[in-house]
Amino acid sequence: MADTRKAPFPFNPYDHLPEVPTFSLTSTDVTDGQTLPVRHASKVLGIPGGEDLSPQLSWSGFPAGTKSFAVTCYDPDAPTAAGYWHWAVADVPVEVTQLPTGAGAAGSSDLPKSAVMLTNSAGFTGYVGAGPPPGHGAHRYFFVVHAVDVESLGLGGDTDPIVLGFNLFMHSIGRAYLVPRFEVAG
């Protein structure tokens, strides 16, 4: 059996979840498969030019029966067994189909009042930008909008994104992806 630990992009973390319909996700800030602009990288994690600025996201074509959305950003290539959660928002109302650049800032007024922003892997509520270890290679950042079959998942802001993921396992009826990459030279 081949050792895949160093293989580039060995897996999609959503492949082992129940298959659900996909829908459209676009951004004026990031492009699927392309390099994440440095302003969306992390000042907190020490990336020069990083601003911890969440990208603009717009979505459409989600399944009938959608009652809310969750928005997440996850790096499965982080050097941990659990990956790294950069952003997690639950309970975005179904009538909201876009978030502006910077909506992931702590205390942002750009999120709907009912939305709940969760604690990220850096330990604070909000978006933390890309910050892979120097020389670790390109990491993928899965920006995902999840169509949810309930208006609220009933989670608080101190909830770990892994708990959100467990709830999404039971309540996702659609999923849309954008997966830019980011790398820091060693």
* Gap between the Cα atoms of 154 and 167, Å rounded: 10
* Gap between the Cα atoms of 58 and 112, Å rounded: 15
Look over the chain and give the mean of its residue pLDDT values, rounded to a whole number: 93
What whole-number percentage of the chain has pLDDT above 90? 87
pLDDT of residue 81: 87
- Span 9-22, pLDDT tens digits: 567 899 989 999 99
The token duo for 20 is 């659900």
How deeply is 102 buried, as exposed, middle or buried, from its count of CB atoms within 10 A (0-12, 13-18, 19+)? middle
pLDDT grade, residue 43 (50/70/90)?
Answer: very high
pLDDT grade, residue 116 (50/70/90)?
Answer: very high
* Gap between the Cα atoms of 62 and 60, Å rounded: 6
Asked if the model's pLDDT at residue 3 lies above 90, the reply is no
* Gap between the Cα atoms of 184 and 78, Å rounded: 13
Asked if the model's pLDDT at residue 6 lies above 60, the reply is no
- Span 81-96, pLDDT tens digits: 889 999 999 999 999 9
Fold type of domain 24-182: Phosphatidylethanolamine-binding Protein (3.90.280)
Give the pTM: 0.94
Asked if the model's pLDDT at residue 7 lies above 70, the reply is no
Asked if the model's pLDDT at residue 61 lies above 90, the reply is yes
